Amino acid sequence: MNKKVIGSAVLLVLVAAFAAWALRAPSTARLHPPELSGNLYTEQTPVYDIVANYANSTPLSTAADKAAIVSMHRFLGDTIAAFKAAAPATAQKRKETLLIRYLISSSPHTVSYIYTIYEDTEGVHGNTRFKTFTFDTATGKELTLSDIFKGESDYLEALSRISRAKLPEVIGPTADAVFIEKGTTPDTKNFENFFIDNADIVFLFDTYQVASFADGPQTLRLPLSTFSSILKPIY
């Protein structure tokens, strides 16, 4: 009898705990990435505004085009879903905002899609970050730095050294060596947002990555010839 009573009590506690969790957790609808069609997604509620402009076709072959669009739409859908899930349940002092827009850049062997994501979540100010997708136009492969630079080369060290030398001039008189050094360590993540624009390789740095908020996000454009000894021959 005692075992039955204890078992029932445990079951009741578990049910109550699950009910409490369900009341606090975001709804499944808020966590589910939206279906993206066309090239514009908008959503306005009393709590937030979302405007996302995105690519829905590429110049790649049919199969590669489909894979590229799936990759980009997955990122956008997850970004929108995460923003909605983190939004407050009721209106605050001002609406939260998510704005996404994109540009296209090309070179003889690549096409890139450069997404700028601006989020204002009722902090002191909004923040800007980037996400780039670069594709090989011949194979359709989505490229990373390891596809562009020779595998045996220490290209991350080269990128770190050169960006530290160039960024102070790009940022200007308010450049901060501590910001720059922290955001340009030889890690893939620090240089993952890149694209190729004709004869240049361009790196994008999020707000706060290499400079203060007042200086904003940064763009570092470098001639590919700077890295001629460590680039794969096609580039």
Burial of 49 (0-12, 13-18, 19+ CB in 10 A): middle
Q: Tell which phi-psi region holds residue 192, choosing left (phi > 0), alpha (psi between -120 and 50) or beta.
A: alpha
First-residue to last-residue Cα distance in the chain: 77
Question: For position 90, what pLDDT does the model report?
Answer: 86
- The answer to whether residues 172 and 197 belong to one domain is yes
- The answer to whether residues 40 and 111 belong to one domain is yes
- The answer to whether residues 37 and 57 belong to one domain is yes
- The answer to whether residues 47 and 133 belong to one domain is yes
Instruction: Determine the Cα–Cα distance for residues 234 and 107; give it in Å rounded to an integer.
Output: 11
- The answer to whether residues 70 and 155 belong to one domain is no
Last residue of a domain, one of 125, 143, 161: 143
Question: For position 123, what pLDDT does the model report?
Answer: 72
* 16 belongs to a structural domain: no
Q: How many domains does the chain have?
A: 2
- The answer to whether residues 226 and 125 belong to one domain is no
Q: Give tens-digit pLDDT for 170-182.
A: 999 999 999 999 9
- The answer to whether residues 85 and 121 belong to one domain is yes
- The answer to whether residues 125 and 170 belong to one domain is no
Three-state SS for the chain is CHHHHHHHHHHHHHHHHHHHHHHHCCCHHHHCCCCCCCCEEEEECCCEEEEEECCCCCCCCHHHHHHHHHHHHHHHHHHHHHHHHHCCCCCCCCCEEEEEEEEEEECCCEEEEEEEEEEECCCCCCEEEEEEEEEECCCCCECCHHHHECCCCCHHHHHHHHHHHHHHHHHCCCCCHHHHHHHCCCCHHHHCCEEEECCEEEEEECCCCCCCCCCCCEEEEEEHHHHCCCECCCC
Residue for token pair 């029932």: 8
Question: For position 234, what pLDDT does the model report?
Answer: 87
What is the domain extent for residue 212?
A: 145-235
Question: For position 31, what pLDDT does the model report?
Answer: 55
* 191 belongs to a structural domain: yes
Confidence check: pLDDT of 14 > 60: no
* 18 belongs to a structural domain: no
Contact status, residue 73 vs residue 147, Cβ threshold 8 Å: no
* 163 belongs to a structural domain: yes
- The answer to whether residues 173 and 79 belong to one domain is no
* 5 belongs to a structural domain: no
Q: Give tens-digit pLDDT for 67-83.
A: 999 999 999 999 999 99
Last residue of a domain, one of 89, 113, 143: 143
- The answer to whether residues 135 and 48 belong to one domain is yes
Contacts of 214 by beta carbon, 8 Å cutoff, 6+ apart: 174
* 224 belongs to a structural domain: yes
Last residue of a domain, one of 126, 143, 160: 143
CATH of the domain at 219: 3.90.640.20
CATH of the domain at 78: 3.30.565.40
Question: For position 152, what pLDDT does the model report?
Answer: 84
Q: Give tens-digit pLDDT for 82-140.
A: 999 999 888 888 899 999 999 999 999 999 999 999 999 877 778 999 999 999 999 99
Q: Give tens-digit pLDDT for 49-64.
A: 999 999 999 999 999 9
- The answer to whether residues 129 and 43 belong to one domain is yes
pTM assigned to the model: 0.83
